[in-house]
Amino acid sequence: MDKVQDYINELIKHGICYQLDNGKIALYHKDIELMARRFHVNIDIQLVSADLKNRCAVVKAIAKDKYGICYTSLGEVHPDNNSFEFFIAVAEKRAVDRAILKAFSLHGDYYSVEELNNVPKESNSAFTPTPNEPKIEKIVSLTEDIETKILSQKTLKGFNEMLSKYSNYLDGLLNKDPDKANKLLLAIQEKQQQLKKE
């Protein structure tokens, strides 16, 4: 397991991950798959259920480690937890990533970006260390990302749409971290007043 943790530490060191507000790290899908290949975990998937009309799906993934031990997980998707057009692919990625993380006893300590809605879904590259040119990018928290999306709106309509889209997150933040939530809500009120004047 030390080699797996070393791999993850390199991803963190090079900024190829996503930091959550609770201090946990979300890894990109292709980096989780690369980790599985490097450390001999095989995956099998099965579509359990799909409702194309309602854009809901459940996919089952089984990760098998090099000792033959299997770890099963489900990936689910519906409009409340996914805004990506190809929703069955998202369910598959969620199932696969959860199963792989379980196989390495990492599920709960690390997450997949696919578990989250409204964050960047693309890693610039799977980790390939380059000693002379380390890849550095700012790790942004989910709250910072949402704040930027709301406050960067140029129209009141766009602003209200973003506010509606993230209202559940903002409610949760108010309970979890009232100081951070109140600062953000104050900035949101100021932006709203500014857009109403325009």
The string of pLDDT tens digits covering residues 71-116 is 999 999 988 887 778 889 999 999 999 999 999 999 888 989 888 7
CA separation, residue 198 to residues 54, 127, 192, 193 (Å): 38, 45, 10, 9
In the listed set 79, 97, 115, which residue is the last one of a domain according to the structure?
Answer: 115
For residue 36, being part of any structural domain is answered with yes
Task: Domain of residue 147: give its range.
Answer: 142-197
The chain-wide mean pLDDT, for the chain, equals 81
Are 7 and 93 part of one and the same domain? Answer: yes
Are 89 and 37 part of one and the same domain? Answer: yes
Are 110 and 146 part of one and the same domain? Answer: no
In the listed set 97, 115, 133, which residue is the last one of a domain according to the structure?
Answer: 115
Spell out the residues 6+ positions from residue 3 whose beta carbon is closer than 8 angstroms to its own: 39
For residue 132, being part of any structural domain is answered with no
Are 178 and 88 part of one and the same domain? Answer: no
CA gap 139, 101 in Å, rounded: 21
For residue 63, being part of any structural domain is answered with yes
pLDDT value of residue 49: 92
Question: Count of domains in the chain?
Answer: 2
Radius of gyration of the chain (CA): 19
The tokens describing 118, both together, are: 């409204």
Spell out the residues 6+ positions from residue 128 whose beta carbon is closer than 8 angstroms to its own: none
CA gap 69, 62 in Å, rounded: 10
% of the chain at pLDDT higher than 90: 30
Look up residue 104 and give its amino acid.
F
pLDDT value of residue 138: 43
Are 8 and 95 part of one and the same domain? Answer: yes
For residue 61, being part of any structural domain is answered with yes
User: Which among 14, 12, 6 is positioned nearest to 129, based on CA atoms?
Assistant: 14
Strand, coil or helix: 74: strand
